[in-house]
Amino acid sequence: MDFINTWHLLTSRRNSKKIIQLDEVIILENSFTSHEYYLTHKYENTQYIFCGADNENNRCIIKLMPLPSFDDIKFAYKNLSLLKDFGEKYKFTKIKDIFEIYEDQWVLVIVCEYLEGLTIREILEFSDDLDLPKEMWLMMFVRLMKIIDKAGKEAIMLNMFPDTIMIIEDQDDGNLIYENEGLRLGVKIITYHQICSNRPKHDAYCLYRKNTIENAIFGVSLCLYMLFTMTKYEDVPNFKEMDEEKRLKTLQVADAGINSFLTLVAGKSFKPETLLTFWGIKLWRVFQKTKYTKLDDIVIKDINCLMTIFKLALVKFSYRNSASCYIKHSQMFVNCKNAFLAMKKILAIAGENPGEVNKALGSSETFFDFFKVFIEQKSELVKQPILFNSILILLKDKSMSEKFKSTLVSLGFLTLIPEFIGNNVKSDLLCKVCLNFIENNTLTLQQILWDSGFVKNILVKATRSVIENDFIKTTMSYYGKNSLKFIMKVYELLDISKLRIFQNIYEIPVVFKLDSISSLFPILHELWKKGTKIPPEALQDVLKTLIHILSEVACLQPFLELQHLKGECTSKSSQDFLTYFGKNPILIKCLNCNPTSSYCVICYEKYHKKHEIQFLHYQAPMFRCSELEDSESVYKLDFRLPKYTNDMQFIELYGCSYERFSVSKLNLEPNKTFISAFSVDINSNEDSDFYNKDRKILSPNQQRQSLLSPPLNSGIRRKSEELQEEYAKSLPQADAYFEVKIVKAGFYEEIFIGITGTGVFYNCKTGNIFRNGHIVSKGPRLGSYDTIGIGLFQKKIFFTYNGLILRPIIPCFIIHPIKAYISSGSYNSPELEVKFSNWIFMGPYTSLVHANSDADNLIKFIMKKVIKLNSRKETKNEDLVDKFLELLRIMSKSDLLDKMQTFKIKNFS
């Protein structure tokens, strides 16, 4: 519900419940002027305030004030003369007429203009289930404090209480406290409540002598407290009976800046001059009067008062339908100017005192609101690079959880990276923020930094800072298939040891090493020979690292693929064998169990499926599954992938273009969806009886000799290629499978992959897997350089992540035809490669590595070094020899294996 409707709903509630029609019209006459007034309605719970009209049919409010004597009448007239000029200047309710009548006692009749508005008391009484902008109450308070200050200087004492202050629809700029979508609201002081000093019903509120400036300040502060806490008139605590300590604790709201003022009001040291000159009020008045040029002249003594302006400029309206208990929330920047200028001032302070600003902003909703304003106003901020630096200063020391990073991406953090680079922000700051952000995260940020040239520009700088060098060394393994050649360049330009360079190559995720397999072995060989000689004390470690790299690319991917299909824990099944591998690329942290442990997808499905979990990403520190429970396997998967003979064509869905086109690379604009022109079910056009008879489809757990059944024998015991091919033909064929390589995930990482007709889709940004609109499982978040696959087998959907199958498998109900589905989000523009062949999953790893001549040459070279090193007594290392022997077994180098075993027997017997 927008603010105008909220305000009108509030007014209608008051009118329907508060204003009561009289049984008969009452006529009052001013005997001196002969003006008549017709009283038609009265306010509930009061005997003396009426609505009516004058004899010219102008609406008005009539207040009857019974007084004990004519002396009191004269006193009232005296007060009126004092208030008249002051009231006109400061927009009190206008008095149209005043006269006295006598009926058993003297009654003063005050006739005021009718105003479309509500008193503070009425607002609080009728605002149930409505959220009203608190910025309005602060601006009201600032305006009233100004009036109190001026009144005090003219010796006019005012009564400021919930039923003497009215918020009205007002076009007067001088009286404006709030404006939204054409509705302008001002504040009025009700004049007839100021004329008579006899106000005993407010004694519960009054801490100070009646009709004093102290009492007026306390009264308006009390109204501010009531509005911020939504405390109704009858529920206001009796502050007179409280001691100072309790009063200080009670007179507080959920805003630190306002509390700094309320603390002064509630304390013993309350002096009017101190409060009227409170620096926070001066700051707030700049925004209330929109005299923004004065903002630069104000010295910020407490950032919380500035934060008050920023937070109150952002308002969430909500409205609850009492019939359905449905609550609708929507956020709107109702005062962009105030939010933007407050943000600029906060950023200026952050450059000098980031700790204070970060403390005020926190790491939750307030910080994200602040960041959202920054994003929305970045076109203005690029003119002031120092403010761009300030947002980086705030981000560099933030503790970034996965949720925090994900929220930043949703708000548009990645869109800022080109802006930062293009506007020459401090490179050190950007590096520091990026190091903080990329830890255990997707590689989208690295891809953006790489494509923008930022990484290369740092590397070729004549002089680099310590942080820039640290950034290069920390991130060089994480630029996808670019990493390998980049590491070579780093070695040429940075003072870094060969051991560290080989270790960085080892840290490159295995899927990217396999993607660069044609250049991997020559580069490793070249690195050994290039530059300075490896020191003797580092030689053993370099050789071990090289052996680990070769072992990993030779069989880590097929080993993990095998274990995931077999449904066996990747750590328990072959502990010794795993020592030769790098990191398991799919590990999960269970937040309900032990956050310092990691689990593989098999143990996740068995023991942690219903827990709160987090998939670990590339730079996570964990390497192995830590599950201590038994290693009994879950259900096996046994199938072969389909073969597509024709290029798959796609059409745009929901758009104006329906032309079919073949895709390999697909550049998606925001809000674009593509589906395949034809079914991706390889078996959809086959006769079902023939299909079942020919394939003899069995469930994964039925009896059959399986490719997955042979145990490991010093690694993975490979069948001959002929037997593998023959066996593969006997397996049931998956109904569909395709992969999407994310070349560029886009600034928002929003990509949706699925198969229509199954109801199952993968949200790459969150990792959530949906079936028919409900989250049924979770996978890793995906970004640039990642590859996701989706397949259908025996009415179950499976997903793969960088060539490894995820668990669990999702059962689904199928409605034919089934088609490939790819979609971008509302703001995202990803670049994708869609593959219906040459997949990573079940890829030809054997031919990539085992039959590679460069790999053979490198192995022979390593063998010479291992033999030479272990021929000397002082440099013998049996563990190194054993690791190399295992590598030779893995790669089936029988001739070299025989020679190496002979060497070991001779030298280590």
pLDDT 10s digits, 135-159: 999 999 999 999 888 888 887 777 7
Half-sphere exposure of 896 (CA within 13 A, CB side): 22
> What average pLDDT does range 242-248 have in this prediction?
88
Residue 44 is predicted with a pLDDT of 78
Average pLDDT over residues 856-873: 92
Mean pLDDT of the 493-498 span: 90
Which distant-in-sequence residues (6+ apart) come within 8 Å of 735 by Cβ?
Answer: 642, 681, 682, 683, 684, 791, 792, 793, 794, 818
Least confident among 80-89, 560-569, 647-656: 80-89
Cα separation, 405 vs 398, whole angstroms:
10
Amino acid (one-letter) located at 542? V
Q: Nearest-CA neighbor of 861 among 487, 514, 555, 547?
A: 547
DSSP character string of 123-136 = HHHH-TTB---HHH
Confidence of residue 801 (pLDDT cuts 50, 70, 90): very high
Residue 153, CA atoms < 13 Å, CB-side half-sphere:
8
Backbone angles phi, psi at 889, to 5 degrees: -65, -45
- The pLDDT tens digits for 270-303 are 788 888 888 899 999 888 887 777 888 888 888 9
Are 569 and 538 contacting, i.e. CB atoms less than 8 angstroms apart? no
User: What was the pLDDT predicted at 685?
Assistant: 53
Task: Provide the 8-state DSSP code for 535.
Answer: P
- Stretch 672-697: mean pLDDT: 61
The rounded percent of the chain whose pLDDT value lies above 70 is 86
How much is the average pLDDT of 714-718?
41
Contacts of 293 (CB under 8 A, 6+ apart): none
pLDDT band at 897 (very low <50, low <70, confident <90, very high): very high
Q: Where are the domains of the chain?
A: 3-113, 132-277, 278-316+334-398, 733-835, 853-908
State the pLDDT confidence band at 657, using cuts at 50, 70 and 90. low
553 vs 371: CA distance, rounded Å: 42
Three-class SS of residue 137?
A: helix
pLDDT at residue 405, rounded to an integer: 93
Give the residue carrying structure tokens 């109150």. Answer: 312
Question: 369-378, 622-631, 744-753 — which is least confidently predicted?
Answer: 622-631
Closest CA to 389 of 381, 379, 377: 381
Q: Is the pLDDT of residue 793 over 90?
A: yes
- Is the predicted pLDDT of residue 843 greater than 80, yes or no? yes
Which pLDDT belongs to residue 813? 93
Q: What is the mean pLDDT of residues 631-643?
A: 84
State the pLDDT at residue 693: 35
Integer distance in angstroms from the first to the last C-alpha of the chain? 85
Indicate if the pLDDT at residue 880 is higher than 70.
yes
Q: What's the pLDDT score for residue 908?
A: 84
Residues in the chain: 909
| Residue 596, pLDDT score | 86
Is residue 239 pLDDT above 90, yes or no?
no
Mean per-residue pLDDT, 442-471 = 94
What is the Cα–Cα distance from 698 to 705, expressed in whole angstroms?
12
Mean pLDDT value across residues 449-476: 93
Q: How wide is the angle at C-alpha 614 spanned by C-alphas 613 and 619, nearest 5°?
A: 155
Q: Which residue has the higher pLDDT, 581 or 638?
A: 638
Helix axes 402-411, 365-376, angle to 10 degrees: 30
Give pLDDT, residue 183: 86
Instruction: Provide the sign of the torsion angle of the four alpha carbons 91, 93, 94, 95, taken in this order.
Output: negative
Q: What is the CATH architecture of 733-835?
A: Sandwich (2.60)
> If pLDDT is split at 50, 70 and 90, which confidence band does 656 have?
low
Alpha helices in 811-893 (DSSP H): 845-849, 853-870, 878-890
The predicted pLDDT at position 173 comes to 76
In the prediction, which pLDDT does 491 show? 93
Query: Which region among 323-337, 354-368, 799-813 has the lowest average model confidence (pLDDT)?
Result: 323-337
Determine which of 105-114, 168-177, 518-527, 787-796 has the lowest per-residue pLDDT on average: 168-177
CA 550 to chain centre: 40
Mean pLDDT for the stretch of residues 305-318: 79
Q: How far apart are CA 758 and CA 792, in angstroms?
A: 9
Pairing of strands 183-189, 165-169: antiparallel
pLDDT the model gives residue 573: 62
Signed CA dihedral, 793, 799, 803, 807: sign only = negative
Average pLDDT, integer, range 401-420 = 92
| pLDDT exceeds 50 at position 7 | yes
CA angle 312–316–319, rounded 5-degree value: 135
pLDDT higher than threshold 80 for residue 61: yes
The encoded tokens of residue 547 equal: 């052996």
- Residue 404: what pLDDT? 92
How many Cα atoms occupy the beta-carbon half-sphere of 481 within 13 Å? 13
E strand or H helix at 800: strand 796-801
Give the HSE-up count for residue 687: Cα atoms under 13 Å, Cβ half-sphere.
4
Tokens of 212: 């004093």
Across the chain, mean pLDDT equals: 84
pLDDT at 766 over 60: yes
Query: Do 118 and 10 meet the contact criterion of CB atoms below 8 Å apart?
Result: yes
User: Residue 21 pairs with which residues in a beta bridge?
Assistant: 41
Could you report the per-residue pLDDT of 183-229, keeping only the tens digit for each? 889 888 876 555 554 444 445 556 666 668 888 898 899 999 999 99
367 CB-near residues (< 8 Å, 6+ apart): 361
Mean pLDDT calculated for residue range 71-86: 76
Lowest model confidence (mean pLDDT) among 57-61, 247-251, 260-264, 378-382 = 378-382
Is the CATH number of domain 132-277 1.10.510? yes
Inform me whether the pLDDT recorded for 9 exceeds 70.
yes
Question: Residue 706: is its pLDDT beyond 50?
Answer: no
Nearest to 513 by CA among 571, 583, 562, 617: 583
Residue 619 pLDDT grade (very low, low, confident, very high; cuts 50, 70, 90)? confident
Q: Can you tell me which residue has the tokens 């409170």?
A: 278
Most trustworthy range by pLDDT among 65-79, 108-122, 253-267, 621-635: 253-267
Omega within 30 of 0 (cis) for the link into 642:
no
- State mean pLDDT over 335-360: 89
Query: Which one is the CATH code of 3-113: 3.30.2030.30, 3.30.30.60, 2.40.50.460, 3.30.200.20?
Result: 3.30.200.20
Gap between the Cα atoms of 562 and 552, Å rounded: 15
Strand residues in 205-359 grouped as ranges (E)? 314-321, 326-333
pLDDT at 322: 38
pLDDT digits 0-9 by tens, 79-111: 777 666 676 766 677 888 889 888 888 888 888
